[in-house]
A and B are shown apart, each in its own frame.
Chain A
Amino acid sequence: MNIQSCVEVRNEWDIVKARQEGRNIAKELGFGSVDQARITTAISELARNIYLYAGKGRIEISNLDSSGKIGLRIIASDDGPGIKDIRKVMEDGFTTSGGLGAGLPGVKRLMDEFSIDSKENEGTEIITTKWLR
């Protein structure tokens, strides 16, 4: 089984589309309602960040199957301005847009694995995974 979904994020509607896509895949893989909500919320945060800070980008959702362990992986990537100080944006409450600053540190807590790769003026790629328990 190989599930692959890619949502281009260009407007508010695409944020909704990406998270609905994520919920469907999470359901299909057998995640319970709490983890479905966690995955959906993480996608919403990442998609909104793309829309707000990079203008456009994409959310890729795929399933992982590594030695019997089932997982769902989200890759959020954009060619936007990038993140200068990654340590800073991972602090609770840090925001440059008047938000709650809960998004990125929140995604890290919602998911099991989390990594950011970002270069100023080149873009940002965030990869995060949730394993089925």
Chain B
Amino acid sequence: MRIPILKLHEYLLITIQVDLDDKTALQFQEDLLEKIHNTGAKGVVIDLTSVDMIDSFIAKVLGDVVRMSNLMGAKVVLTGIQPAVAITLIDLGIMLKNVPTALDLEQGLDKLKQELGG
């Protein structure tokens, strides 16, 4: 299974809509970095509105993908984290420090525009 990555102007948009297994998560990490490289995208929004569970493995993959993308010169914003997911992440002791987040896709794009435009 592969997670589709959409390109919109200089942005990449990803909406995660499957229950992520480990292989799919790692494949996504690889695909996204490849896509950043090929398109020269400057901003990425990963929308997690449909994700109802983030465990320590998926949290690590997401945190890593943000840092790796930064190394490649692209900013990543995570959007739409559900209340229940936010609560369980804190229970797990995972703060996703230095990972930019926004309420929804629209605000995520605004955030990127501000950071990149300024």
Binding site for B on A (CB under 8 A): 12-13, 15-16, 19-20, 23, 33-34, 36-38, 40-41, 44-45, 48, 92, 99-100, 102-103, 105-106, 109-110
Contact = CB atoms under 8 A, between A and B. Distances in A.
A41 B93 contact: no
B59 interface: yes
A48 B60 contact: no
A23 to B, nearest CB: 8
Majority SS of interface residues in chain B?
A: helix
B87 A106 contact: no
16 contacts: A12-B23, A20-B19, A33-B52, A37-B88, A38-B91, A40-B52, A40-B53, A41-B53, A48-B55, A99-B56, A99-B57, A102-B94, A105-B93, A109-B91, A110-B91, A110-B92
B65 to A, nearest CB: 14
Given A19-B19, A38-B88, A100-B94, 20 more contacts: A12-B21, A12-B22, A15-B21, A16-B19, A23-B53, A33-B84, A36-B84, A37-B87, A37-B88, A38-B87, A40-B52, A41-B92, A48-B57, A99-B57, A100-B60, A102-B56, A102-B94, A103-B55, A109-B91, A110-B92
Contacts, number: 76
A28 to B, nearest CB: 16
B48 interface: no
A91 to B, nearest CB: 11
Nearest to A48: B57
A34 B94 CA distance: 16
Grouping DSSP codes into helix (H, G, I), strand (E, B) and loop, the A interface class, with mixed when no group exceeds half, is helix
A37 B60 CA distance: 18
Interface in B32-90: 52-57, 59-60, 82-85, 87-88
A114 B55 CA distance: 18
B85 to A, nearest CB: 6
Contacts of B84: 33-34, 36-38
Contacts of B91: 38, 41, 106, 109-110
A34 B89 CA distance: 11
B56 A15 contact: no
A109 B87 CA distance: 11
B52 A37 contact: yes
Between A20, A23, A37, the greatest number of chain B beta carbons within 10 A of the residue's beta carbon is seen for A37
